[in-house]
Amino acid sequence: MLRNQIDRIRLLFHKDRKSYLCFYKILGFFPKNIELYEQALLHKSSSLRSEQGRPINNERLEFLGDAILDAIVGDIVYKHFEGKREGFLTNTRSKIVQRETLNKLAVEIGLDKLIKYSARSSSHNSYMYGNAFEAFIGAIYLDQGYRKCKKFLEERIIAKYIDLDKLSKKEVNFKSKLIEWCQKNKVKVSFELIEQTLDEKSNPMFQTEVLIEGITAGDGNGYSKKESQQNAAKMALKKIKSDQTFAARCREATREATSPDEVGVTCPGEVGATCPGEVSMQVEESIETVEEMLEDMSDEIINDIIDEMDDCEITKEESEEDSTEIEQDKSIAIAQIIDALNERTTRRRYPFVDLV
């Protein structure tokens, strides 16, 4: 408290007092090194460079803030939910640190009005606000240390804008949930890109339609394909829950299907055997489900998944030829999952060691 009073007096004679006051309103304390906070709000599209010619932006601070945010939120979630299992804690943490949540938090505390970026850069597609929020956390950590950073998140972010109990019960990955429902009910689901347009600010907009057994279940719009798919899946789940007739139509459609490539079809003359078409369908759906859940998984869980897939054995009674084909499909699935992991790792700028 005394420190803030002294800093407030010194601020009266500081040439950057307007910037200091602006950050004080957000932080609740005066920065020691204001340049860290200013850099945290520099998007790479601003194209600024140092005297040595190096680009000046918030990417390094974003990397640091991402790690600090994971640690602090993990600490908070662990202490808040006593006795809960690791999977629940990981899922709850991921809901807080995901880009959509961080984007909203950045807007809530006013960071969106302070970010410097090129007018040609779209904040919708790059999650600019959420990235800046992470960089801002990195700046607080470097300027004030871990304890002050944790206090800021607990008192000025979590306490004001996030209800942990309510958030832990909230479903956020609607596409994954829809795929799980379709697999459980043995029906086919597909996401079709209907249209790609530009909004009034020339940002790309996507419209996606979701089909269950060829029947339209919902559509959604978004500033990315993933966002439009999530919105379409959300509408489809709502329709399934509220309209029992629609759900019955989907199940009836799959029963009327006669193609051997449909999910759940058994090859004639082989009790309990799995058709190649079913294996391909299951592999494709598994890859899609894993890709959707990668952002919500810790690296330890991902390692466990790969190990389990690599160690699993074929348990069905099949010929050596069918066994070889299924093993090949499994290897392809593992390879594609590793590619997806590498994309995720590159995007988040973590060092990555091959798992297989």
Among all residues, which ones are annotated catalytic?
66, 134
Fill in the amino acid letter for 115. Answer: I
- Closest to 64 (Cα-Cα) out of 168, 135, 117: 135
C-alpha distances (whole Å) from 327 to each of 78, 142, 330, 333, 348 are 40, 49, 5, 10, 32
Which residues, other chains included, contact 140 with Cβ-Cβ below 8 Å and sequence gap of 6+? 27, 148, 149, 152
Rounded to whole angstroms, the Cα distance separating 143 from 196 reads 43
- Closest to 286 (Cα-Cα) out of 226, 340, 240: 340
C-alpha distances (whole Å) from 309 to each of 144, 147, 337, 338, 344 are 44, 40, 11, 12, 20
Q: Per the structure block, which two tokens stand in for 253?
A: 């459609």
Which residues, other chains included, contact 146 with Cβ-Cβ below 8 Å and sequence gap of 6+? 68, 72
| Spatial strand order in the sheet of 204-212 | 189-198, 204-212, 215-222
For tokens 């054995």, name the residue. Answer: 313
Do 140 and 27 touch, CB atoms closer than 8 A? yes
- φ/ψ of 129, rounded to 5, equals -65, -45
Q: Per the structure block, which two tokens stand in for 34?
A: 């204001």
Burial class (CB in 10 A: 0-12, 13-18, 19+), 2: exposed
Rounded to whole angstroms, the Cα distance separating 260 from 277 reads 7
Angle, to 10 degrees, between the axis of helix 276-293 and the axis of helix 174-184? 160
